[in-house]
């Protein structure tokens, strides 16, 4: 049996509102016409609002997945002589390091280990030890494990030490508490298709207008991901530098309206309710969650696989019942799986998921 609607428990792309899907079928349009310029202006403004800022800030919206926006920020923000402190406690922290290394950016790799809390005091000490470090980069929600890092504290020590922070908020923005101004963050990177519940294909970088202006002094490391180029095109000329994915823009515009109408706190509370319901149910089935309760996000739960069960078998059984679950990455892949509570899903979906999981486990005599 294949359900009409798959419940996506992979951490993005997520189930979307029908209004978001319908928006994809908007009119054919030229990106160098006033209609698109106006749409881009609206979307860029709403992204700034989602990040917690107003007229002092701007966003650059890119066609590309979240990694494209990360690559744009990491390659465009630090000048040639910069030093980047990469805070790493999982797969996505490691990706930040790989991007920086790809471009020969001088880095210090501050590795905590997967699922280990990134202690802001250790970050502070690293910045004090190494005066050549000029920037920090950190993942807010480490989607490989479900660990929520204290970006407010990390951005706080970064600013206190006179450095610049870049935050990968790709899987947190829109649901977890994050505010570019109140949290002293310099640059926020996000994407359309996770907690903002849009379609995949658009990502963005938000920062202060003055900071965007200053990027002009940097020698560009890339052509198509140069933030300064995109800022000038979008902010000054009002048009994109290159051809954007127009249908994804239509959908993102609607998704942003829904996100702003629901509000960050209410969306976070909705995800928390689903995550707690899920975790209670997993506990009843004797399944263990990777991260300690005080560091868990509302977005993702990494769960230990029962000893004799292969992920592929569990995945197949649940998919037949209408649920897509996600493998863990790298060294966790044989022993854990991941369940996201992002997107347009509800309590009924979680209850049906738990019932399906229970019936599968009992078929295999694992409960
Ligand atoms: C999903 C994710 C990314 C990468 O996003 P893509 O859209 O797949 O490029 C980066 N960082 C974090 C924390 C993520 O969850």
pLDDT in tens, the chain (367 residues): 445 799 999 999 999 999 999 999 999 999 999 999 999 999 999 999 999 999 999 999 999 999 999 999 999 999 999 999 999 999 999 999 999 999 999 999 999 999 999 999 999 999 999 999 999 999 999 999 999 999 999 999 999 999 999 999 999 999 999 999 999 999 999 999 999 999 999 999 999 999 999 999 999 999 999 999 999 999 999 999 999 999 999 999 999 999 999 999 999 999 999 999 999 999 999 999 999 999 999 999 999 999 989 999 999 999 999 999 999 999 999 999 999 999 999 999 999 999 999 999 999 988 8
Residue 367's pLDDT is: 84
- Cα 139 to ligand 1 centre (Å): 10
Centre of ligand 1 from the C-alpha of residue 101, in Å: 18
Q: Is the CB of 170 under 6 A from ligand 1?
A: yes
Cα(342) to centroid(ligand 1), Å: 14
d(CA 314, CA 305): 9
- The verdict on the CB of residue 191 being under 6 Å from ligand 1 is yes
Q: How far is the CA of 148 from the centre of ligand 1 (A)?
A: 14
Q: How confident is the model at residue 1, as a pLDDT?
A: 40
How far, in Å, is the centroid of ligand 1 from the Cα of 137? 14
Taking the CA of residue 171 as reference, the ligand 1 atom at the shortest distance is 15
Q: How many whole angstroms from 1 Cα to the centroid of ligand 1? A: 31
Ligand 1 atom closest to the Cα of residue 194 is: 1
pTM score: 0.97
CA of 168 to the centre of ligand 1 (A): 8
Q: Is 195 in the pocket of ligand 1 (CB under 6 A)?
A: no
Q: Is 171 in the pocket of ligand 1 (CB under 6 A)?
A: yes
Ligand 1 binding pocket includes 326 (Cβ within 6 Å):
no
CB 144 near ligand 1, within 6 Å: no
Q: How much distance in Å is there from the Cα of 248 to the middle of ligand 1? A: 17
Residue 337 φ/ψ, nearest 5 degrees: -135, 165
Indicate which residue's Cα is closest to atom 6 of ligand 1: 66
Atom of ligand 1 nearest to the CA of 143: 15
Nearest-CA residue for ligand 1 atom 2 is: 170
Residue 327 CA to ligand 1 centre (angstroms): 15
**pLDDT at residue 2, as a whole number:** 44
């Amino acid at each position: 049996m294949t359900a009409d609607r798959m419940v996506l428990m992979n951490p993005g792309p997520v189930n979307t509102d029908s209004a978001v899907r319908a928006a994809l079928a908007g009119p054919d349009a030229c990106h160098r016409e006033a209609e698109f310029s106006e749409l881009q202006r609206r979307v860029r403004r709403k992204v700034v609002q989602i990040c917690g800022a107003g007229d002092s800030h701007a966003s650059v919206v890119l066609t590309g997945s979240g990694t494209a926006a990360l690559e744009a920020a990491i390659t465009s923000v630090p000048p040639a002589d910069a030093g980047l402190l990469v805070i790493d406690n999982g797969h996505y922290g490691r990706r930040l390091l790989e991007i920086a290394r790809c471009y020969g950016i001088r880095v210090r790799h501050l590795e905590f280990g997967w699922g280990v809390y990134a202690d802001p005091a250790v970050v502070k000490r690293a910045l004090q030890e190494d005066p050549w470090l000029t920037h920090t980069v950190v993942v807010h929600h480490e989607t490989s494990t479900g660990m929520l890092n204290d970006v407010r504290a990390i951005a706080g020590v970064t600013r206190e030490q006179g450095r610049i922070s870049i935050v990968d908020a790709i899987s947190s923005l829109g649901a977890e508490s994050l505010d570019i101004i109140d949290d002293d963050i310099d640059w926020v990177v996000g994407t359309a298709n996770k907690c903002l519940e849009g379609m995949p294909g658009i990502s963005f970088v938000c920062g202060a207008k003055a900071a965007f202006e200053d990027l002009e002094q940097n020698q560009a490391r890339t052509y198509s991901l140069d933030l300064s180029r995109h800022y000038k095109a979008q902010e000054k000329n009002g048009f994109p530098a290159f051809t954007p994915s127009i249908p994804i823009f239509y959908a993102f515009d609607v998704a942003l309206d829904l996100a702003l109408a629901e509000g960050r706190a209410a969306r976070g509370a909705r995800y928390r309710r689903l995550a707690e319901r899920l975790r209670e149910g997993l506990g009843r089935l004797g399944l263990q969650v990777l991260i300690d309760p005080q560091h868990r996000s509302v977005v993702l739960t990494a769960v230990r696989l029962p000893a004799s069960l292969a992920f592929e078998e569990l995945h197949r059984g649940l998919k037949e019942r209408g649920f897509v679950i996600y493998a863990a990455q790298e060294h966790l892949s044989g022993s854990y799986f991941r369940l996201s509570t992002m997107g347009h899903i509800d309590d009924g979906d979680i209850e049906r998921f738990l019932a399906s999981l229970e019936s599968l486990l009992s078929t295999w005599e694992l409960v």
